[in-house]
């Protein structure tokens, strides 16, 4: 199990919840504090702006009647929020700050001198709020008859502190609940996100080990679903590529074996005839000539095989340049027909040509297209008993020109039909050899046709004959 991703997710959720709670806590406690401060000073300003209270306080002060002043403040206690617990009023001496009266007697008999009291001692209103102090106070000087007074109201912020304490408690509780929720959330995450990733990892490990049988199932539309499907596609492509590689490696081995075999036969022939000639200087002249002819024929054969192989390998390497030009397809078919007519007649074949009217000119490599048609026609002659029927036809259909060569020769067995385009494949090796074939002609033809964006195929019935047909796009490979 991929612990690390799981742990990371859980940690992220945890941090998120804690961060959220800390931010909420800071904002709430600050909010409470500023609310209390504002409320306190607003209230004080409002009450002491009351003309009636100011007048009666002044009257009482002029009579130096602290008791009356205290009573007056007692009347306003509700509006001032005096509760004799956290908030109290005091009447101090305006000259010394000495405590004279109040809603409660201070512990030591005097109140601490705060900056606001100092202001009042100097005859100014002391109503500055100090957010960092642990109390809130206002001190207002009142002129008396004989002596001056200070009305002093102080709040020890206990209410605010206990409210903030409550808030903190709530936040800690919420944090605990949040942590429990985060555990459930992470379980859910593990199920919906991490499990598919783990499944994908397992499949990837299998693919890395060469096992392509497993496909991961994930139909969801999220990123993991997309990733899974991409992975599946990739695995399929990889498998196909590997299969292709294996196949082409197999083909390469077979090809090398075939080439060696094909070349060994003529070399053995040349060698044995040459040895016989060398061993017998008194050989009759006609036998000598026959042997020399065999040697020449076999050499020609080798040359042809090597030439064909070279052509094919150049096709494979893509190093053969085709020269695409416009030419008359019909004329090419006719030229091939005329070139082979004598040979066909020499074999006693009925050799015919039939072309549709209006065959368009096409773009292609004229010489190579004629090579393809020539290959089909000479095969027809080779694989048809003397006195047969060979018909060449040509025409146009749907942007493609076509040419078919039909014979009533030996035909091709069903199981061999598609293999005749394979390199060195021959249905009957001896017969092909006899007629000078290499088994490479149709492979080369197929390559040429493919480079034109066309196709070539064959229909055949053993004993009845074959029809080879080639199709080429009129506009050349780009038109295919
Ligand atoms: P080859 O040089 O042997 O003719 P090709 O590649 O031209 O090589 O043809 C491959 C094989 O296909 C031939 O050996 C032959 O067995 C078969 N073949 C080709 N054309 C015909 C045909 N018209 N009739 C019967 N068999 C054919």
Ligand 1 atom closest to Cα of residue 440: 6
Determine which residue's CA is closest to atom 20 belonging to ligand 1.
Answer: 379
Model pLDDT, residue 193: 81
Query: Does the CB atom of residue 474 touch ligand 1 within 6 A?
Result: no
pLDDT in tens, 312-350: 888 888 888 889 999 999 999 999 999 999 999 999 999
Q: Are 312 and 423 in contact (CB under 8 A)?
A: yes
Ligand 1 atom closest to Cα of residue 428: 16
Q: At 114, phi and psi to the nearest 5?
A: -100, 165
- The residues, ordered by sequence, that sit 6+ positions from 352 with a Cβ below 8 Å of its Cβ are 389, 390, 391, 392
Determine which residue's CA is closest to atom 13 belonging to ligand 1.
Answer: 426
Ligand 1 atom closest to Cα of residue 436: 2
Calculate how far, in angstroms, residue 464's C-alpha sits from the geometric centre of ligand 1. Answer: 15
DSSP state of 412: -
Model pLDDT, residue 386: 95
Model pLDDT, residue 3: 60
Query: Does the CB atom of residue 379 touch ligand 1 within 6 A?
Result: yes
Q: Where do the domains of the chain lie, and which CATH numbers do they carry?
A: 2-162 (3.30.450), 223-316 (1.10.287.130), 322-473 (3.30.565.10)
Query: Does the CB atom of residue 305 touch ligand 1 within 6 A?
Result: no
pLDDT in tens, 86-102: 999 999 999 999 999 99
Can you tell me the distance from the alpha carbon of 439 to that of 425, in angstroms, rounded to the nearest whole number? Answer: 5
37-63: buried (b, 16+ CB within 10 Å) or exposed (e) per residue?
A: beebeebbeebbeeeebeebbeebbee
- State whether residue 122 is helix, strand or coil: coil
Q: Are 350 and 388 in contact (CB under 8 A)?
A: yes
DSSP state of 96: T
Determine which residue's CA is closest to atom 19 belonging to ligand 1.
Answer: 379
Q: Are 361 and 329 in contact (CB under 8 A)?
A: yes
pLDDT in tens, 145-178: 778 999 999 998 888 889 889 989 999 998 899 8
- Pocket-testing residue among 439, 464, 469, ligand 1, by greatest number of atoms within 8 A of Cβ: 439
Model pLDDT, residue 1: 46
* Mean pLDDT for the chain overall: 90
From start to end of 166-237, where are the E strands? none
Q: Residue 479 above 70 pLDDT? A: no
Can you tell me the distance from the alpha carbon of 438 to that of 448, in angstroms, rounded to the nearest whole number? Answer: 17
Longest Cα–Cα distance of the chain, Å, equals 171
Determine which residue's CA is closest to atom 2 belonging to ligand 1.
Answer: 437
Whole-model pTM? 0.57
Can you tell me the distance from the alpha carbon of 179 to that of 317, in angstroms, rounded to the nearest whole number? Answer: 66
- Pocket-testing residue among 421, 432, 434, 470, ligand 1, by greatest number of atoms within 8 A of Cβ: 432
pLDDT in tens, 207-250: 888 888 878 887 788 888 899 899 999 999 999 999 999 999 99
H-type alpha helices, 63-124: 66-75, 77-80, 115-121
Calculate how far, in angstroms, residue 412's C-alpha sits from the geometric centre of ligand 1. Answer: 9
Q: Residue 5 above 80 pLDDT? A: no
Determine which residue's CA is closest to atom 8 belonging to ligand 1.
Answer: 439
Query: Does the CB atom of residue 422 touch ligand 1 within 6 A?
Result: no
Query: Does the CB atom of residue 70 touch ligand 1 within 6 A?
Result: no
If one counts every other C-beta atom within 10 angstroms of the C-beta of residue 347, the result is: 15
């Amino acid at each position: 199990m991929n612990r690390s991703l799981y742990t990371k997710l859980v940690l992220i959720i945890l941090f998120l919840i804690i961060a959220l709670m800390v931010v909420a806590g800071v904002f709430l406690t600050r909010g409470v504090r500023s609310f209390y401060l504002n409320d306190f000073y607003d209230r004080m300003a409002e009450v002491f702006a009351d003309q009636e209270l100011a007048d009666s306080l002044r009257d009482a002060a002029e009579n130096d009647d602290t008791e009356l002043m205290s009573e007056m403040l007692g009347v306003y206690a509700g509006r001032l929020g005096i509760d004799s617990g956290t908030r109290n009023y005091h009447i101090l001496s305006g000259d010394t700050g000495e405590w004279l009266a109040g809603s409660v007697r201070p512990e030591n008999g005097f109140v601490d001198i705060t900056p606001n009291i100092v202001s009042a001692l100097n005859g100014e209103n002391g109503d500055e709020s100090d957010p960092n102090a642990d109390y809130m106070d206002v001190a207002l000087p009142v002129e008396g008859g004989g002596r001056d007074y200070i009305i002093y109201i102080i709040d020890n912020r206990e209410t605010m502190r206990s409210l903030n304490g409550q808030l903190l408690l709530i936040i800690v509780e919420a944090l605990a609940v949040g942590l429990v929720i985060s555990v459930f959330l992470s379980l859910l995450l593990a199920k919906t996100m991490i499990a598919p990733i783990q499944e994908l990892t397992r499949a990837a490990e299998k693919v890395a080990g060469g096992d392509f049988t497993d496909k991961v199932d994930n139909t969801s539309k999220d990123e993991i679903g997309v990733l899974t499907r991409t992975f599946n596609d990739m695995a399929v492509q990889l498998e196909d590529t590997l299969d292709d590689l294996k196949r082409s490696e197999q083909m390469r081995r077979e090809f090398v074996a075939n080439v060696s075999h094909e070349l060994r036969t003529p070399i053995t022939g040349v060698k044995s005839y040459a040895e016989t000639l060398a061993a017998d200087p008194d050989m009759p002249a006609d036998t000598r000539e026959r042997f020399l002819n065999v040697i020449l024929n076999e050499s020609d054969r080798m040359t042809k095989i090597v030439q064909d192989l070279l052509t094919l390998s150049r096709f494979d390497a893509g190093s053969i340049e085709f020269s695409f030009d416009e030419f008359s397809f019909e004329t090419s078919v006719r030229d091939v027909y005329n070139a082979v007519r004598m040979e066909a007649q020499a074999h006693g074949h009925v050799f015919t040509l039939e072309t549709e009217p209006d065959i368009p000119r096409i773009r292609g490599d004229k010489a190579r297209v004629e090579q393809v048609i020539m290959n089909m026609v000479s095969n027809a002659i080779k694989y048809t008993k003397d006195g047969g029927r060979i018909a060449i036809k040509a025409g146009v259909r749907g942007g493609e020109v076509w040419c078919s060569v039909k014979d009533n020769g030996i035909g091709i067995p069903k199981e061999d039909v598609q293999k005749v385009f394979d390199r060195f494949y021959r249905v009957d090796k001896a017969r092909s050899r006899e007629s000078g074939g290499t088994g490479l002609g149709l492979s080369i033809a197929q390559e040429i046709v493919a480079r034109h964006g066309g196709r070539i195929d064959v229909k055949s019935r053993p004993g009845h004959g074959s029809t080879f047909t080639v199709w080429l796009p009129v506009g050349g490979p780009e038109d295919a």
